[in-house]
Amino acid sequence: MTLVERFLKYVSFDTQSSESTGLTPSTAKQMVFAQYLKTELEGLGLEDITLDERAYLFATLPANTDKPLPTIGFIAHLDTSPDMTGENVSPRIVKGYDGSDITLCAEENIVLSPKQFPELLDHKGEDLIVTDGRTLLGADDKAGIAEIVSAVAYLKEHPEIKHGKIRIGFNPDEEIGEGAHHFDVEKFGCDWAYTMDGGEVGELEFENFNAAVAKIVFKGRNVHPGYAKDKMVNSIFIANRFINLLPTAERPEHTAGYEGFFHLTGVEGGVELSTLTYIIRDHNRALFENRKQLIQDLVAQINTEYGEGTALLILHDQYYNMREHIEPVMHIIDTAFAAMEAVGVKPNVRPIRGGTDGAQLSFKGLPCPNIFAGGLNFHGRYEFVPIQSMEKATRVIVKIAELIAATK
């Protein structure tokens, strides 16, 4: 099976995760995909293949040299984003993209255009896999899975390429921030690993946001509107007051690079009770703590203005910036950098404006930077992945294994 055949097969599985079930995996359909992958890995002749009840799938490509080498890992996630349906994905290949608009769905006038997505023009002449405009594609992160499986298959077919022991790991629920929660680092048994979960070709990331989620519940008082004077307290207006207290310029749509933000992700409300949900992000740990403190201060301000107990805050951290755990082992970044250059890819070291499982795994004792998988416009109907980008990512995996064997 080729890389493209694998990818097209993988995206046929609906693997959306869900924040509402409280289970791991959060959706049973992720296990269905994991079971398929287990069978494929068995067919490739990999060893130590395990699939646990939480849909964590591990496997080993044994070393083909007696030279003492570190054990490295490559990791990708099974799930796709809850932001848009991943059911009945219908991909197609646009061969030799010419730089013009791509009609995804003529019936609904859904068009992938370089006017809105100028990054398309970076891939003129390449073969793009796109959606039919009705679903996401699932390149995040089925491109990563296809690249890892294709790379280990290639290494197995080419024993002349010497390498140490390679572990691969596929886990559920990355998109809801829980992919690393039950990841058994000790069982995985690697000196370090790479997640294949980045975007554009060349991306190499070892810095990510510090992340927290805040839920604020606002209590009002509902009475008949005909007799509400001096009695009714409308929690929707209190919630709106809170929204306007936060700095407008520090929303995702106004930030880039290392700039953090407050992102309002959910609003539920009625007169009696309203709830706001925010995610809080910043690369700098001190600024991250300041952002959390601002949320707490504004909740206190609301309680001062409207009465104690009006606003209730539930705040918890999700993950932290992996940089502090990567800097002591920067040789793993140097290796990935050299591998990219060796296969003709210009490395682009940049901070992740988000998080990966690698961030949490780094704090669990497995240094785990992130490498590009090649997809763009994740989580929506305009998602696409150039075939040539997936091929380059596959070559980077192979070259990393080769370089480690050559330099140790």
Q: What is the pLDDT of residue 352?
A: 86
Cis peptide before 25 (omega within 30 of 0): yes
Q: Residue 358: which of 201, 187, 149, 171 has the closest Cα?
A: 171
- What are the b/e assignments for 135-158, b being 16+ CB within 10 Å? bbbbbbbbbbbbbbbbbbbebeee
Q: What is the pLDDT of residue 177?
A: 85
Rounded mean pLDDT of 348-362? 88
How is the chain split into domains, by residue range? 3-207+321-407, 210-319
Rounded mean pLDDT of 53-71? 97
Residue count of the chain: 408
Q: What percent of the chain has pLDDT over 70?
A: 100
Q: Residues 14, 147, 173, 174: which is the catalytic one?
A: 174
pLDDT digits (tens, 9 = 90+) for 102-144: 999 999 999 999 999 999 999 999 999 999 999 999 999 999 9
Q: What angle do CA 197, 198, 200 make, to 5 degrees?
A: 140
pLDDT of 355 above 90: no
How far apart, in whole angstroms, are the C-alpha atoms of residue 265 and residue 211? 14
Q: What is the pLDDT of residue 408?
A: 60
Please report how the helices 28-43 and 139-157 are oriented relative to each other, as an axis angle in degrees rounded to 10.
Answer: 10
pLDDT digits (tens, 9 = 90+) for 190-215: 999 999 999 999 999 999 999 999 99
Rounded mean pLDDT of 372-383? 96
Residue 160 annotated in active site: no
Q: What is the pLDDT of residue 356?
A: 81
How far apart, in whole angstroms, are the C-alpha atoms of residue 84 and residue 95? 26
Could you give the residue ranges of the DSSP H alpha helices within 118-252?
Answer: 139-157, 185-188, 235-245
CATH domain 3-207+321-407 topology = Aminopeptidase (3.40.630)
3-class DSSP assignment, residue 148: helix
pLDDT of 1 above 80: yes
Q: What percent of the chain has pLDDT over 90?
A: 95
pLDDT digits (tens, 9 = 90+) for 206-258: 999 999 999 999 999 999 999 999 999 999 999 999 999 999 999 999 999 99
At 385, which helix (H) or strand (E)?
strand 384-386
Rounded mean pLDDT of 312-330? 94
At 314, which helix (H) or strand (E)?
strand 311-319
Residue 174 annotated in active site: yes
Q: Residues 14, 79, 178, 391: which is the catalytic one?
A: 79
On whether the pTM is more than 0.75, the answer is yes
Given this structure, which CATH class describes domain 210-319?
alpha beta
| Cα dist from 201 to 97, 220, 341, whole Å | 17, 50, 12
Query: Considering the chain, what is the average pLDDT of its residues?
Result: 96
